Structure formats: structure tokens, C-alpha cells
């Protein structure tokens, strides 16, 4: 990319050319580069997953086909699901376009925590590595990892779930970063009611990422422990409850479908006004719908379990709540439609994708109604109808939205334009191929064809054949999109400033933007949907000029380390604090999941828990509680020393905290040793399973906290803190207190009652 731009006349420096070499990308904290790296990795996985999908479709072309061996087929659909969900569409739009555009759209120089952003990509890469490893280990559980099939001590499942766990971490970091960025880094004039709708959907998504992901984290962790040591929680043979796994799993995995779709809806809300040259219709309704969807979506997970043996009352309640989620979805469709009314509409490829999205998403949403209805879902559950439904939502919705956005912002990202004719051709191939693949699957579902079958009775064959043929058209279409965009990214014609005539703030900088986005932090005077007004033309002209001027003023900017330079000091402090509180929230949710499991099993096995808890030594537990409380006291002292600028004081207090932590771990070690001696490990029953899971996880947190303290101590020794700057000490302190508070809950639960 770099060489090519260098060959052209007067290369303007931008984020792409600011620095050269793979290493400069890997180490970059620039949100635009990180977004692009995500995009590259994800597109790779999208095509890998798509390739496997074609293998699956080929096997299904004929009833009784033996193209793939049964086991290969089962592995293939598992890999396909895991790749598409965890490696592609869950990071999805937020990690790619979101990362790239969020700061540009709210007039900031970067996200709140650029280094955390880079860390989230690194973690993603690590997770991808694990997942890649697991690909070769023959995991065949499906992406849902239902217990007890998934707890038959197989390293493949452990590796795969570890990958999903790690990827969840990356997702939380992105969500946290976005929340803080949106709260603290909006430029002057960018009030909440002018916030672009894409940003609003990123906001709603980020909330879901932060709230739901910790729960899948703890679920996967328990599943891993179950495989390694036999905790018993999900194992009916040990009195565990396989349905609990499903509850935990869907508590995350339902909201996650809205994590996938909401940002794509935001993209549609950006594109339709630009190409209709009309303000977005019902801005407030669209915002309310996004938030509404986010809120309701954490209350409906049970609709994946209508026939899993829940009480009839629960089935009815979850059914009703699920219906409610359809309403805000419908509201969005009507508002997009009305935006086109009396517009001046043109139909370049982004608009084609946007209109396709609206059409496809209606099919997706209304098929959701079939599934929310108890009477019909009992027929449709786990058939091809569900397969068709979620491909319409995810591929027809989330992916088509992503492609709409890619085509729309392509000139901004690369400063070049793609071949529009080819883009339209590819669009029609994708659109027809997609519908041809998945419409027949609705019919198959009606007929009763179950999912995850490598072979099927002959009467299902004709529809399967149609589906397979169109799947290849679909795949060819996507390949054409890729080739077109890839070629354009390197060789495309230079894009003129603001090629679509958008009023979005992101278009007022150069194409592609400089490393720091804006020369000066912009000041916003109107929302970005003010089309069809007398002053619109003038504003567009100003934006174009600003964009051209930005081209002339660019110099090389090296990504930097150290205290943030893209924020004011107070802003940085506020951001750090908000970020820390959100992080603590996710920790609480993580342990919350464990506490839930504990309480559920305790209530179901009162006797077992009461007798088993007598094996614990409450004097040691009490001692440990006192030690932790003392450590909290020293930590608080360290913060107050920091506040008065007493560097030696900080070091002294941190040392004492560290000492307490060490004492805690040593005592814990003795306790564990005693349990080992009494053969209470591997755990003989759920009580000890939960005992080791909770206290072990807590001990791990203590260890992390000690790492933080050591790091703070190092900073203090280098005299990095002052009366005015001691944010890290304060944040470290908050974390340490949380670790103690969790123990305060654990102690009575495990030792005393």
C-alpha cells in the first residue's frame, strides 16, 4: 500500500503513510489503523467461514451424500458457526467501522484509551490463534457448546471455549472504550441530540457488550473447568443441570445478536439520508428504538429454550417479551422508509445495500414472530426455519449492513474510489444468491427438516438443491466484492472530497484522514442530517474546503506512548475513572454469574451444601478476611499519600498492601493443600466444584491485583506521580477494593452458612 502511494505525484501524508512497515501497524494505537487491522483479519475469517459453508452446502446437495464423512460434517458446521460468530460478526461492525469512524464522527483525535484499543486487537489475535488451533482438534459441539455433550473432557472443546472466552475479553474492552469515548470525548457542540445515529447504535451495542459478555465469560470458564476437573455444575451425572448452561449461554448469546445487528442498523440510518438528500426521519424514535432493543434484549433469552423443559409460565413470559422486541425493530423500518419520502434519491451501491438491508431485515424480523409464538416455535425450533431466520438477520442484516458501510466510507478510509459498475454487479449477485440460498430453508423448516443433520430423508432434497446452487452464487458475489474493493484500495482512482455530499463530520477531514484526524478539535453547530435546507449547499462547500485544506497541512505523526495527548488532563482523569467503574461493573457481573449458580444449587441441595461446608476451616477464612480488610486499609492510605504528593509514602503503603496479599495467598495455599490431602480435588460434588471455581477465580484476581500493585510501585519509584497526577494509583486502589469486596461476599456464602 505504501509503495504504491509513494509512486504517485505529491503523496499527501495520512494515517496510512504516516509510518511504514508491518511492525508500525502492529504497534499502532491509531484507531483507524486498528480498525483496518480488525477489518483485514475479519474479512479473512469471513471468507474462511464462507468456504466451509460451501463445503456444508455441497454435502447437503444430495440426500445420503457421502462427500463429507459424518464426523467431518459435524466438525464443519461447528467451525463455520464459531468462525462466523466469534471471529467475524461479534467484533463485527464496532471493531472495524466503529473503531475507524467513532472518533471522526464525534470530533475526537482518538478513542479514550488508544492503548487499550490496541490491546483489544492483540487479544482478538490471540483468541483467533486459539480458535485456529481448535480447528484442527475436531470440535463437533456446534457453536452453542451445549452441556453435557461438551463436557466429555476433550481438549478441543477446552481450546475452542478458551478462544471464545479470550475473544469476549477483547469485546468488553472495545465496548468499555466506546462508552467512555462517547461520554467524554465529544467535541464542542456535539450534544447527545446531535449524535449521529451510527454512534448511538455503537453506544447501545457497547452497553450490551459490557453487560452480557461477562456472563458468557463465566459460563465458558465453568465449561472449561468442567472439562478439566469436573466441577459438576453442568453435569447431570453429578447433579448438575444442563438447562442452567443454556440459561447462562443465551443470557449472553441473545443480546449478542443485537450486538451484531444494531451497528448495522446505525449504518443504514447514516446512508439513507445521504442518498435521499433528506434529514433522517424520526431521529428520536430511532434513538429510542436502539436503546429499547438493547434493554429488552437482555430479558428474552428464554426464547431459545421454549422446549428445553422450562415451566409453562416461563415459556409464556419469554414469549411475550420476545414479541415486544419486534416493535422497535418495526419502528426503525418505518422511519427509514419515511426518510425516502419526498427525497431526491440516487442509487449508488451503498444505497442499494441499504435498501436490500431494509427488505431482508423485514423477512428476518417477521420470521422472528413465527419463532416467538409458542405454538409455532414448538414446530420450528432447531429446524431449518431457525437456520433461515438467523441467516436473514445476520447475513441479510448485519453483514449486508457492514458491506453497505464499507462501500459508503470506502473513499474516506482509503482516499480512493472503487469501480461502481462492478460493485453493483456484485451486489446483485450477493442479493439474489442470498435469497436463493435461504428462502428455501424457510420452507424446509416448515416441512420439518432438523438442523445439524449431515444427511436427510429424500423428500427434502429438491429444496436443498436449490439452496446449494444459490449458495455458490452468493459466494461468488462476495468474492467479487472483495476483489473490487481490494483492487481499489491499492490502485483505485483518488476520491474527490466528500464524494457523496454527506454532512457527516467525518467527511470534513482529508481523505484519508491524517493520524490525528483533525487539525483542531472541530466545533459543531448543527446535527449531521440537515439536508434540504437553504444553508445545506454552503455547508457542503465549507466541508469540502476544510477537507482539501486538511490535505495540505499534514505532517508525519508518530503514534506515541505515555500520558494521553489527545485529551485534556481533566478529561483524561474523568475518562479513566468512568472506564474503571465500567470495568468493575463487568467484574461484578462475572462473579454475579458464579453467585447465581451457587445460590441455585444451594437451594436445590440444602443438605449437601450444609454438610460439605463443614469441611472448610472457618478460622482460616476469618483470618483471611481480616488480612484482606487490612490490605484495603493500606491501599486507601496509599491513595491518600498520593493525593498529598508523598512518593515514599505511596511506596511504603503499597509494600504493606502487597505483604497482606501475599499472606492471603499463603493461607489460601494451606487451605487448598488440606483439601488435596482429603481428596476433595478433583471435586467430589458440586459444592466443592463451586468452592474451587469461586475461590480460585478470586485468588486469580488477587494475583492480578498484586501485579497492578507492583506496576504502580515501579511508577512511584520512577517518580511518575505528583500531587496533580496520580490517576493510576487511584484506579489501582479501586480495583483492589473490589477484589476485597468480592471476598466479603464469598466468605459467608462458602464458610459460614
Q: Which partner from the list Cu ion, ligand HEM, other proteins, none does 260 bind, CB cut-off 5 to 8 Å by kind?
A: ligand HEM
Q: Which partner from the list ligand HEM, other proteins, Cu ion, none does 261 bind, CB cut-off 5 to 8 Å by kind?
A: ligand HEM
Distance in angstroms (rounded) separating the CA atoms of residues 353 and 345:
14
The stretch near ligand HEM (CB under 6 A) out of 105-113, 203-211, 217-225, 379-387 is: 379-387
Q: What would the x/- binding string for other proteins be over residues 63 to 92, using CB under 8 A? A: -------xx--x------------------
Q: What would the x/- binding string for ligand HEM be over residues 134 to 163, using CB under 6 A? A: ----------x-------------------
Stretch 319-378 residues interacting with ligand HEM (CB under 6 A): 322, 325-326, 329, 365, 368-369, 371-372, 377
Stretch 292-321 residues interacting with other proteins (CB under 8 A): 307-309, 312, 315-316, 319-320
Closest contact distance (angstroms) between CB of 327 and ligand HEM is 9
Q: How far is CA 159 from CA 89, 128, 162, 434, in A?
A: 20, 11, 5, 32
* Choice between 523 and 610, CB closer to other proteins: 610
Helices 312-340 and 242-276: angle between axes, nearest 10 degrees: 10
- Choose which of 314, 330, 599, 703 interacts with other proteins (CB under 8 A): 330
Four-residue CA torsion sign, 548, 553, 558, 561: negative
Of all helices (H) and strands (E), which one includes residue 40? helix 31-59
Contact between residue 147 and residue 57 where contact means Cβ atoms under 8 Å apart? no
User: Cell 444442563 sits at which residue?
Assistant: 242
Contact between residue 377 and residue 302 where contact means Cβ atoms under 8 Å apart? no
* Choice between 144 and 170, CB closer to ligand HEM: 144
Distance in angstroms (rounded) separating the CA atoms of residues 715 and 351:
52
Instruction: Copy the grid coordinates of residue 349.
Output: 451501491
Instruction: Provide DSSP, 60-109.
Output: TTSTT--SS-HHHHHHHHHHHHHIIIIIIITTHHIIIIIHHHHHHHHT-S
User: φ and ψ at 383, to 5 degrees?
Assistant: -115, 180
Task: Please list, residue by residue across 136-168, b when 16 or more beta carbons sit within 10 angstroms of its beta carbon and e when fewer do.
Answer: eebbbbbbbbbbeebbeebebbbbbbbbbbbbb
Task: Please list, residue by residue across 402-413, b when 16 or more beta carbons sit within 10 angstroms of its beta carbon and e when fewer do.
Answer: bbbbbbbbbbbb
Stretch 355-394 residues interacting with other proteins (CB under 8 A): 355, 358-359, 362-363, 366-367, 369-370, 372-376, 378-379, 381-383
Closest contact distance (angstroms) between CB of 383 and Cu ion is 13
Which of these, 210, 137, 129, lies nearest to 168 by C-alpha position? 210
Closest contact distance (angstroms) between CB of 452 and other proteins is 4
* Choice between 73 and 664, CB closer to other proteins: 73
Closest contact distance (angstroms) between CB of 322 and Cu ion is 7
Distance in angstroms (rounded) separating the CA atoms of residues 577 and 24:
30
- Choose which of 133, 138, 189, 450 interacts with other proteins (CB under 8 A): 450
* Choice between 295 and 432, CB closer to Cu ion: 295
Q: Which partner from the list other proteins, ligand HEM, Cu ion, none does 398 bind, CB cut-off 5 to 8 Å by kind?
A: ligand HEM
Closest contact distance (angstroms) between CB of 534 and ligand HEM is 39
Residue 744 has what DSSP assignment?
H
* Choice between 260 and 289, CB closer to ligand HEM: 260
Q: Does 606 bind other proteins (CB under 8 A)?
A: yes
Q: Tell me the residue number closest to Cu ion, measured at CB.
A: 254
Stretch 637-656 residues interacting with ligand HEM (CB under 6 A): none
Closest contact distance (angstroms) between CB of 694 and other proteins is 23
Four-residue CA torsion sign, 7, 13, 16, 21: positive
Q: Tell me the residue number closest to ligand HEM, measured at CB.
A: 368
* Choice between 359 and 618, CB closer to other proteins: 359
Contact between residue 91 and residue 213 where contact means Cβ atoms under 8 Å apart? no
Four-residue CA torsion sign, 428, 434, 440, 442: negative
Q: Coil, strand or helix: which one is 479?
A: helix
The stretch near ligand HEM (CB under 6 A) out of 68-76, 388-396, 683-691, 706-714 is: 388-396
Distance in angstroms (rounded) separating the CA atoms of residues 728 and 112:
15
Contact between residue 267 and residue 401 where contact means Cβ atoms under 8 Å apart? yes
Give the number of residues in contact with other proteins, rule: CB under 8 A.
94
Closest contact distance (angstroms) between CB of 663 and ligand HEM is 48
* Choice between 328 and 514, CB closer to other proteins: 328
Distance in angstroms (rounded) separating the CA atoms of residues 217 and 215:
5
* Choice between 246 and 624, CB closer to ligand HEM: 246
Instruction: Copy the grid coordinates of residue 584.
Output: 468493575
- Choose which of 604, 666, 710, 744 interacts with other proteins (CB under 8 A): 604
Contact between residue 721 and residue 642 where contact means Cβ atoms under 8 Å apart? yes
Closest contact distance (angstroms) between CB of 394 and ligand HEM is 5
Contact between residue 510 and residue 547 where contact means Cβ atoms under 8 Å apart? yes
Of all helices (H) and strands (E), which one includes residue 416? strand 416-417
* Choice between 451 and 643, CB closer to Cu ion: 451
Q: Which partner from the list ligand HEM, other proteins, Cu ion, none does 146 bind, CB cut-off 5 to 8 Å by kind?
A: other proteins
Q: Residue 3 contacts by C-beta under 8 Å, 6 or more apart in sequence?
A: none
Q: Does 304 bind ligand HEM (CB under 6 A)?
A: yes
The Cβ of residue 40 has, within 10 Å, a number of other Cβ atoms equal to 11
Q: Does 91 bind ligand HEM (CB under 6 A)?
A: no
Q: Which partner from the list ligand HEM, other proteins, Cu ion, none does 285 bind, CB cut-off 5 to 8 Å by kind?
A: other proteins
Instruction: Copy the grid coordinates of residue 210.
Output: 459490557
User: φ and ψ at 277, to 5 degrees?
Assistant: 50, 45
- Choose which of 44, 47, 229, 323 interacts with other proteins (CB under 8 A): 323
Closest contact distance (angstroms) between CB of 648 and other proteins is 59
Distance in angstroms (rounded) separating the CA atoms of residues 36 and 30:
10
Stretch 123-152 residues interacting with other proteins (CB under 8 A): 140-142, 146, 148-149
Q: Which partner from the list Cu ion, other proteins, ligand HEM, none does 334 bind, CB cut-off 5 to 8 Å by kind?
A: other proteins
Q: What would the x/- binding string for other proteins be over residues 530 to 549, using CB under 8 A? A: -xxx----------------
Which of these, 411, 400, 402, 399, lies nearest to 488 by C-alpha position? 411
Beta bridge partners of 493: 417
Residue 514 has what DSSP assignment?
P
Q: Does 99 bind ligand HEM (CB under 6 A)?
A: no
User: Cell 491524517 sits at which residue?
Assistant: 514
* Choice between 258 and 601, CB closer to ligand HEM: 258
Q: Does 398 bind ligand HEM (CB under 6 A)?
A: yes
Binding site for Cu ion (CB under 5 A): 254
Q: Which partner from the list Cu ion, ligand HEM, other proteins, none does 390 bind, CB cut-off 5 to 8 Å by kind?
A: ligand HEM
Instruction: Provide DSSP, 556-611.
Output: ------SS-SSS-HHHHHHHHHHHHHHHHHHHHHHHHHHHHHHHHHHHHTHHHHHH
Stretch 143-202 residues interacting with other proteins (CB under 8 A): 146, 148-149
- Choose which of 126, 331, 588, 674 interacts with other proteins (CB under 8 A): 331
Q: Which partner from the list other proteins, ligand HEM, Cu ion, none does 6 bind, CB cut-off 5 to 8 Å by kind?
A: none
Q: Which partner from the list other proteins, ligand HEM, Cu ion, none does 319 bind, CB cut-off 5 to 8 Å by kind?
A: other proteins
Closest contact distance (angstroms) between CB of 325 and Cu ion is 8
Positions in the binding site for ligand HEM (CB under 6 A): 144, 257, 260-261, 303-304, 322, 325-326, 329, 365, 368-369, 371-372, 377, 380-381, 386, 389-390, 393-394, 397-398
Amino acid at each position: 500500500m505504501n509503495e504504491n502511494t509513494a509512486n504517485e505525484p505529491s503523496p499527501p501524508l495520512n494515517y496510512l503513510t504516516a509510518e511504514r512497515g508491518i511492525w508500525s501497524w502492529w504497534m499502532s494505537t491509531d484507531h483507524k489503523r486498528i480498525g483496518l487491522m480488525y477489518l483485514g483479519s475479519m474479512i479473512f475469517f469471513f471468507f474462511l467461514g464462507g468456504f466451509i459453508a460451501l463445503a456444508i452446502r455441497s454435502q447437503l446437495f444430495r440426500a445420503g451424500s457421502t462427500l463429507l464423512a459424518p464426523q467431518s460434517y459435524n466438525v464443519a458446521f461447528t467451525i463455520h458457526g464459531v468462525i462466523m460468530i466469534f471471529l467475524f460478526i461479534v467484533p463485527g461492525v464496532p471493531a472495524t467501522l466503529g473503531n475507524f469512524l467513532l472518533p471522526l464522527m464525534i470530533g475526537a483525535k482518538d478513542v479514550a484509551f488508544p492503548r487499550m484499543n490496541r490491546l483489544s486487537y492483540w487479544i482478538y489475535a490471540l483468541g483467533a490463534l486459539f480458535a485456529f488451533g481448535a480447528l484442527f482438534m475436531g470440535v463437533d459441539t456446534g457453536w452453542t457448546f451445549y452441556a453435557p455433550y461438551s463436557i466429555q473432557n476433550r481438549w478441543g472443546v477446552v481450546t475452542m471455549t478458551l478462544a471464545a472466552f479470550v475473544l469476549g475479553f477483547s469485546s468488553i474492552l472495545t465496548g468499555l472504550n466506546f462508552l467512555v469515548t462517547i461520554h467524554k470525548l465529544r467535541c464542542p457542540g456535539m450534544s447527545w441530540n446531535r449524535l449521529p445515529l451510527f454512534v448511538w447504535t455503537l453506544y447501545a451495542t457497547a452497553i450490551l457488550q459490557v453487560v452480557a459478555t461477562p456472563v458468557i465469560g463465566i459460563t465458558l470458564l465453568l465449561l472449561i473447568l468442567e472439562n478439566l476437573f469436573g466441577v459438576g455444575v453442568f453435569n447431570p451425572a453429578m447433579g448438575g443441570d444442563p438447562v442452567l448452561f443454556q440459561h447462562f449461554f443465551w443470557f449472553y448469546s441473545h443480546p449478542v445478536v443485537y450486538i451484531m445487528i444494531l451497528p448495522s442498523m446505525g449504518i443504514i440510518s447514516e446512508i439513507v439520508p445521504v442518498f435521499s438528500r433528506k434529514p433522517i426521519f424520526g431521529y428520536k424514535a430511532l434513538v429510542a428504538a436502539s436503546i429499547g432493543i438493547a434493554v429488552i434484549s437482555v430479558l428474552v433469552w428464554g426464547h431459545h429454550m421454549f422446549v428445553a423443559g422450562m415451566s409453562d409460565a416461563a415459556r409464556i413470559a419469554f414469549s411475550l417479551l420476545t414479541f415486544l422486541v419486534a416493535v422497535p425493530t418495526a419502528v426503525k423500518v418505518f422511519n427509514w422508509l419515511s426518510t425516502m419520502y419526498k427525497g431526491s434519491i440516487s442509487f449508488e451501491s451503498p444505497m442499494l445495500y441499504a435498501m436490500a438491508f431494509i427488505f431482508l431485515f423485514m423477512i428476518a424480523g417477521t420470521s422472528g414472530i413465527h419463532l416467538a409464538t409458542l405454538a409455532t416455535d414448538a414446530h420450528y425450533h432447531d429446524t431449518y426455519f431457525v437456520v433461515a431466520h438467523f441467516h436473514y438477520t445476520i447475513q441479510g442484516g448485519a453483514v449486508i449492513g457492514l458491506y453497505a458501510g464499507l462501500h459508503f466510507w470506502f473513499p474516506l478510509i482509503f482516499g480512493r474510489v472503487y469501480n461502481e459498475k462492478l460493485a453493483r454487479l456484485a451486489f446483485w449477485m450477493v442479493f439474489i444468491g442470498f435469497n436463493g440460498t435461504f428462502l428455501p430453508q424457510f420452507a424446509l423448516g416448515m416441512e420439518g427438516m432438523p438442523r445439524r443433520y449431515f444427511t436427510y430423508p429424500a423428500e427434502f432434497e429438491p429444496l436443498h438443491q436449490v439452496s446449494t446452487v444459490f449458495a455458490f452464487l452468493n459466494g461468488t458475489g462476495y468474492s467479487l466484492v472483495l476483489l473490487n474493493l481490494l483492487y481499489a484500495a491499492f490502485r483505485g482512482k483518488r476520491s474527490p472530497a466528500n464524494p457523496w455530499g454527506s454532512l457527516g463530520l467525518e467527511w470534513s477531514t482529508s481523505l484519508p484522514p491524517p493520524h490525528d484526524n483533525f487539525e483542531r478539535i472541530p466545533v459543531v453547530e448543527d446535527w449531521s442530517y440537515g439536508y434540504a435546507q437553504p444553508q445545506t449547499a454552503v455547508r457542503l462547500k465549507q466541508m469540502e474546503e476544510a477537507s482539501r485544506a486538511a490535505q495540505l497541512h499534514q505532517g508525519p505523526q508518530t503514534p506515541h506512548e505515555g500520558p494521553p495527548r489527545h485529551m485534556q488532563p481533566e478529561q483524561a482523569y474523568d475518562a479513566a475513572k468512568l472506564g474503571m467503574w465500567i470495568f468493575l461493573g463487568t467484574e461484578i457481573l462475572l462473579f454475579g454469574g458464579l453467585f447465581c449458580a451457587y445460590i441455585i444449587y444451594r437451594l436445590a441441595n440444602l443438605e449437601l451444601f450444609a454438610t460439605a461446608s463443614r469441611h472448610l476451616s472457618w478460622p482460616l477464612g476469618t483470618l483471611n478476611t481480616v488480612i484482606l480488610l487490612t490490605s484495603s486499609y493500606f491501599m486507601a492510605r496509599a491513595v491518600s499519600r498520593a493525593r498529598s504528593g508523598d512518593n515514599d509514602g505511596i511506596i511504603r503503603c503499597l509494600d504493606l498492601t502487597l505483604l497482606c496479599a501475599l499472606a492471603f495467598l499463603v493461607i489460601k495455599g494451606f487451605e487448598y493443600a488440606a483439601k488435596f490431602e482429603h481428596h476433595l480435588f478433583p471435586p467430589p460434588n458440586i459444592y466443592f466444584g463451586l468452592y474451587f471455581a469461586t475461590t480460585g477465580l478470586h485468588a486469580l484476581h488477587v494475583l492480578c491485583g498484586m501485579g497492578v500493585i507492583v506496576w504502580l510501585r515501579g511508577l512511584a519509584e520512577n517518580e511518575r506521580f505528583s500531587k496533580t497526577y496520580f490517576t493510576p494509583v487511584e484506579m489501582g486502589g479501586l480495583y483492589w477494593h473490589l477484589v476485597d469486596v468480592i471476598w466479603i461476599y464469598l466468605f459467608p456464602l462458602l464458610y459460614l452458612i
